[in-house]
Amino acid sequence: MKIESDIFLNNEKIPVQYTCDGESKPIPLKISDVSVEAKSLALIVDDPDAPNGDFVHWLVWNIDPKTLIIGNEEILDGAVEGLTSLNKKGWVAPCPPSGVHHYNFKLYALDIILSLSESSTKADLINAMNGHIIDSATLTGLYGRN
């Protein structure tokens, strides 16, 4: 399974228009080579370099495994968004206070469709995925301020 973006390569800089210093646009993601066994996909976008520890930028689950593109602000049919570290749903653009941060786009192929409420957090999602992950892939983008 692969997760990629047309706007940056793995471990390279995220363009400014996709951050809080620009237009805060959602980062378009491309998905490929998903297992035919997958019943759903889940996406966790987080920043492990945040001052208070891990910062969750986006949580989405029950994504159709046939999905090829995520982003550009469209709502994915049947998918559910959970709570970010700002205690709200939806995309939170990269906005580091200082230094270069790593933004991890972690995609999981699951053998089930999850039954989680929209008020679920990253911990809830990880717990629900436990024992159901068929495959995973990560794309990391970098962004920083001085």
pLDDT score for 146: 64
pLDDT score for 67: 92
Q: What is the CATH number of the domain that holds 137?
A: 3.90.280.10
Closest by CA to 61, choosing from 48, 72, 70, is: 70
**Hey, which residues does 30 pair with through a beta bridge?**
4, 69
Residue 77 banded pLDDT, cuts 50, 70, 90: confident
pLDDT score for 53: 87
Where is average pLDDT lowest: 30-34, 41-45, 75-79, 142-146?
75-79
Q: Pairing between strand 69-70 and 29-32?
A: antiparallel
Closest by CA to 58, choosing from 13, 32, 28, 26, is: 26
Residue 110 · residue 127 · CB < 8 Å: no
Over range 50-68, report the average pLDDT.
94
Residue 74 banded pLDDT, cuts 50, 70, 90: low
> CA 117, CA 49: separation in Å to the nearest integer?
27
pLDDT score for 31: 96
Residue 59 has pLDDT above 90, yes or no: yes
pLDDT digits (tens, 9 = 90+) for 3-36: 999 999 999 999 999 999 999 988 999 999 999 9
* 71 backbone φψ class: left, alpha, beta (φ>0; ψ -120 to 50): left
Counting the structural domains of the chain, the total is 1
What range defines the domain where residue 84 resides? Answer: 2-145
pLDDT digits (tens, 9 = 90+) for 130-143: 999 999 999 999 99
Residue 73 has pLDDT above 80, yes or no: no
